[in-house]
Structures are given as C-alpha cells and as structure tokens.
C-alpha cells in the first residue's frame, strides 16, 4: 500500500477526521436548508398573494435553522483548526530540519502548510455546501423545466473542460511561485538590494500570470453562464403555466447554480496548488 504523505490534504483528513466530523455534519445540514430557501421563498410569495402567511412562517423557520447551523460550525471550527495547525506545523519544522533544509525553505514551507489548514477550515465546508447546493439545484431544475436543466448541465460540462485543459499550466505557475517564495529568507538575508528587488519582481510576475489565466477562464465561463440565465428567464416566463412564485424560484435556482459553478473552479485551482505544496513538503529540499 502506498504510504500517505502526512503533510498532504488526504493525510490530514485521515488523521483528524474525527475532530472535523461535527463541523462537516453541520455543513451538510446548513447546505440542505439552503437548497430549500428558493422553494420556501416561492411558497411565501404565492401564499401572500393568496392571503396566507404559512409560507412566510416556513421561510422564517429555515432562516433560523441556517443561523443555528452556521453559528455552531463557526464556533467549533476555530478551536479545532487552530489546534491542528499548531500540532502539525511543529512537525513540519522538525521534518524539514531532519532533511537538512535551509532556513529559507523551512520558513516558506511552514507558511505554505498554513494553506492546508485554511483549506480544511474554510474551503472544505464551503465546497461541501456548494456541492450539495449544485446537485440539489440541478435535481430541482430537472423537475421545473427539462430544457433549463440541460442548459445548466451543458454550462457545468464546459466549465470542467476549461479547467481540465488548464490543469498542467496552473500546476506549473504555482510551482514557479513557490520556488521563488522559498528563496525569500535567503535573499533578504543577503542584503543585496538588486537581488531583493529582483525577487519581489519575480513574485509579482508569477502572481500576474496566475491572475491572467484565472481572468481568462472566468470570462469564458461567465459568458456561458450568462447565456443560461437569460435562456431560463425567457423559457420559464414564457411557458404560460408557471406562477410568479415558480418563476422567481426557477430564476433563483439558476442564479445559485451560476454562483456554485463560478466558485468550484477556485477550489479546483486550490487543490492543484495544494498538490504541488504537498509534493514539496514530502521531498527533500533541492
């Protein structure tokens, strides 16, 4: 069996999953309640138009549930993940020292390791939330209008293709950025002003290249999603059978789908970056 790198995302999850289980459960409950919000808004709108407050009470109950789940998770998260970081960061330093890594590399790698904990604390709960929301939204859109469902499915497939084709480039850009970051302490210690200036110019150049790629990908995806939103408004509103509340719900679900699709690539890029950092932490400094 292949040995798991203890300083990788999978290694941290295997080691600390029991402590993180409660926050993940709260995330799932929060996501389920969030998926139901647009439907509840539709009920509230249609109910008020017919003189009933039942839908408003259901919407209020969902909002209160979201408060409990969200606040409970945030209260617990901070305590768990700060403990994880303080425990494993010390191990990273010790492992780097045993490998004979220079101080510049040790400092940079401890800083880079922080990104794993940030991903566990912030990105995984958000990713689970968006994942449930995305597939919950697609399931509801399948019931609302088959044409809208397939339009959304097509946009999601296009998004996956854009980032899959750019995976290697994203990895290489992060690799170059992290290589330069590891040199920072040594460059600063040298006291050579031209070298220091060159170092920060190179960091800026890597950052700009990463940002330019992200901007290009975002623009392509946004064009596709904008077409889906406009298509949904036209199709649902002109169907002649949908109530005002149903039209509002459908558009809100598509807009929620757009938000999820725009966010998922960011997590994908983060995972590629963490994969590069994990290999860096698990190998001797060269």
CATH number, domain with residue 99: 1.20.1560.10
Structural domain boundaries enclosing 237: 9-281
**Residue 1: inside a domain, yes or no?**
no
- Phi-psi category of 202—alpha, beta or left, where left has phi over 0 and alpha has psi -120 to 50? alpha
pLDDT given for residue 90 in this prediction: 75
**Residue 166: inside a domain, yes or no?**
yes
**Residue 286: inside a domain, yes or no?**
no
Nearest in space to 115 (alpha carbons), one of 281, 3, 261, 260: 281
Q: Locate tokens 């303080």: which residue?
A: 86
**Environment class of 115 (CB within 10 Å of its CB; exposed 0-12, middle 13-18, buried 19+):** middle
**Residue 2: inside a domain, yes or no?**
no
pLDDT given for residue 15 in this prediction: 75
Reading the block at residue 56, the tokens are 């408003």
pLDDT given for residue 53 in this prediction: 84
**Residue 4: inside a domain, yes or no?**
no
The pLDDT averaged over each successive group of 10 residues in the chain (286 residues) is 61 75 78 76 80 82 82 75 76 74 70 75 74 79 84 90 88 86 78 82 88 88 89 80 73 82 81 80 49
**Residue 86: inside a domain, yes or no?**
yes
> What is the domain count for the chain?
1
**Residue 97: inside a domain, yes or no?**
yes
pLDDT given for residue 158 in this prediction: 92
Q: The whole model's pTM is what?
A: 0.61
Reading the block at residue 239, the tokens are 């169907």
């Amino acid at each position: 069996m292949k040995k798991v790198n203890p300083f990788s995302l999978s290694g941290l999850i295997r080691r600390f999953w029991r402590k993180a289980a409660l926050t993940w459960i709260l995330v799932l409950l929060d996501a389920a309640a969030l998926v139901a919000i647009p439907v509840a808004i539709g009920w509230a709108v249609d109910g008020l138009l017919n003189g009933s407050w039942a839908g408003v009470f259901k919407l209020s109950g969902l909002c209160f549930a979201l408060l409990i789940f969200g606040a409970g998770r945030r209260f617990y998260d901070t305590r768990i993940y700060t403990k994880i970081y303080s425990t494993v960061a010390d191990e990273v330093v010790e492992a780097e020292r045993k490998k004979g890594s220079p101080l510049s590399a040790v400092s940079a790698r401890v800083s880079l390791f922080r990104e794993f904990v940030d991903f566990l604390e912030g990105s995984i709960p958000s990713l689970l939330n968006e994942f449930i929301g995305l597939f919950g939204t697609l399931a509801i859109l399948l019931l609302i209008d088959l044409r809208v469902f397939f339009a959304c499915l097509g946009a999601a497939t296009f998004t996956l293709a854009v980032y899959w084709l750019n995976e290697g480039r994203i990895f290489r850009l992060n690799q170059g950025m992290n290589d330069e970051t590891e040199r920072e302490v040594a460059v600063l210690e040298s006291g050579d002003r031209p070298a220091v200036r060159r170092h920060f110019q190179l960091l800026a150049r890597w950052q700009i290249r990463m940002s330019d790629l992200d901007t290009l990908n975002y623009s392509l995806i946004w064009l596709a999603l904008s077409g889906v939103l406009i298509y949904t408004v036209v199709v649902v509103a002109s169907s002649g059978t949908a109530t005002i509340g149903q039209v509002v719900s459908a558009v809100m679900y598509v807009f929620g789908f757009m938000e999820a699709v725009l966010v998922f690539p960011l997590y994908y890029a983060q995972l590629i970056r963490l994969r590069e950092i994990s290999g860096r932490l698990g190998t001797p400094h060269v």
